[in-house]
Structure 1
């Protein structure tokens, strides 16, 4: 199996809703206005309703009811509204993918994104780390896994029998088997869809932020968020969770392990600095997975 063969034919690419295609094009459009984006979303009534439902969810703590897509853009910001549309579009594009537990996969993806966003916002560097942009990487980082299962199910099946797609060593196993991993596929898709180079690079670097040459902070936040999501989704015990914690990545980012209570049980005084539960962080965003 070759990387290019997974994405080099139009028939092998997922069918993305038109409004999502337009939003993708906006990534590199410097002169596009928030009003234009709102108009694009408004062409799809069902999507507009979902964006408003998400914007009024507990996740955003809006001080008043958000009644229009224009309001959502003004209050939440362009990047976050685009995230909601992209996330919903990706779920729709891959809804018929076989060979995977899609509910588990998307739950892990959402938990990864919200954890990475929280970390970037609470432990990141001002002017260096953008939580909403990190959320984008988190929501998109696993699309390569979906593409692999959609177009090369027979080739992926033997590995699936021995390794969950969410396992911490999954990318390494894939690289040993094929010479590339799911994140390389994610990056190739993002490049085809004309996402910014910075996002393409971050997606490719998520499985191993320290081994990708230039250290990519967005990829590193998503890597840490992915660990937290894995612990929750796979119900890992404390011993296994601690054994797989990417301490070197956390150290490179300068993150105090107190962000995750199970890492500092001996220091309960730091509890107030810990990240809320992932269920709490993702409250309301579940609508993207429907």
Structure 2
């Protein structure tokens, strides 16, 4: 199996809703206005209703009811509204991926995105780490896994029997088997969709954010977020969670281990520094997965 063969024909690419395609185009456009984006979303009543439902969720703690897409853009910001549309579009595009537990996969993806955003906002460098942009990487990082299962299910099936797609060592096993991993496929899709180079690089680097010789910070936050999501979604015991914690990445980012109680059980006095549970952190955003 070759990487290019997974995306080399239009028929192999997921069907992306038109408004999501327009939002994707905005990644590289410096001229697009918030008003244009609002009009594009508002032209789809079902999507508008979903965006407003998400915008009014507990996740955003809005001070007042958000009643229009324009309101959502003003109060949440362009990047976050685009994230809501993009996430919703990706879920719709990959409705069937043989051999995968899609509900588990998307919950892990959402939890990764919210955990990575929380980390970037609470432990990141002001002006360098953008939590909403990190959320984008988190929501997109696993789409290559979906593409693999949609286009080459027979080739992926033997590996699925050995290793859960969410397992910490999955990317390494894929690399050994095929010469590339799911994140390379994610990056290929992002390239075809004309995403910015920085986002493509981050997606490719998520499994190993230190591997390129320099730290890719967005990929590193998502890498840590994916670990936290894995602990929750796969209900890992403390021993397994500790054994798979990417300590080198956390250290490079300068993250206080107190962000996850399992890492500092000996220091209950640090509880106030801990990230909220992922169920609480993602409150209301699970509507994106419907």
List gaps (5 residues or longer) in structure 1.
Answer: none
> Which residue is 1:20 aligned to?
20
> Which residue is 1:241 aligned to?
241
> Which residue is 1:143 aligned to?
143
Structure 2 Cα separation of the partners of residues 240 and 21 of structure 1: 40
Structure 1 Cα separation of the partners of residues 96 and 262 of structure 2: 37
> Which residue is 1:87 aligned to?
87
Structure 1 Cα separation of the partners of residues 38 and 214 of structure 2: 36
Offset at 1:96?
1.6
> Which residue is 1:169 aligned to?
169
SS for the counterpart of 2:162 is coil
Structure 1, residues 226-250: CA drift from partner, whole Å, max 9, x if none? Answer: 0000000000000010010000000
Q: TM-score, length-normalised on structure 1?
A: 1.00
Structure 2 Cα separation of the partners of residues 214 and 204 of structure 1: 14
RMSD: 0.5
Mapping of residues 107-126 of structure 1, within 5 Å: 107-126=107-126
List gaps (5 residues or longer) in structure 2.
Answer: none
Offset at 1:11?
0.5
Structure 1 Cα separation of the partners of residues 270 and 10 of structure 2: 51
User: 1:213 aligned to 2:209?
Assistant: no
SS for the counterpart of 1:269 is helix
Structure 1 Cα separation of the partners of residues 269 and 189 of structure 2: 45
> Which residue is 2:73 aligned to?
73
Offset at 1:215?
1.5
Offset at 1:214?
2.9
Structure 1, residues 153-175: CA drift from partner, whole Å, max 9, x if none? Answer: 00000000010000000000000
> Which residue is 1:272 aligned to?
272
> Which residue is 1:189 aligned to?
189
Q: TM-score, length-normalised on structure 2?
A: 1.00
Which stretches of structure 1, 4 residues or longer, exceed 4 Å deviation after superposition? none
Structure 1 Cα separation of the partners of residues 213 and 46 of structure 2: 43
> Which residue is 2:254 aligned to?
254
Structure 1 Cα separation of the partners of residues 8 and 119 of structure 2: 36
> Which residue is 1:198 aligned to?
198
> Which residue is 1:4 aligned to?
4
- Greater CA deviation, 35-44 or 207-216? 207-216
Structure 2 Cα separation of the partners of residues 213 and 45 of structure 1: 46
Structure 1 Cα separation of the partners of residues 214 and 140 of structure 2: 21
Offset at 1:212?
2.1
Structure 2 Cα separation of the partners of residues 97 and 45 of structure 1: 27
Structure 1 Cα separation of the partners of residues 251 and 214 of structure 2: 16
User: 1:158 aligned to 2:158?
Assistant: yes
Structure 2 Cα separation of the partners of residues 186 and 43 of structure 1: 29
Q: How many residues align?
A: 290
SS for the counterpart of 1:70 is helix
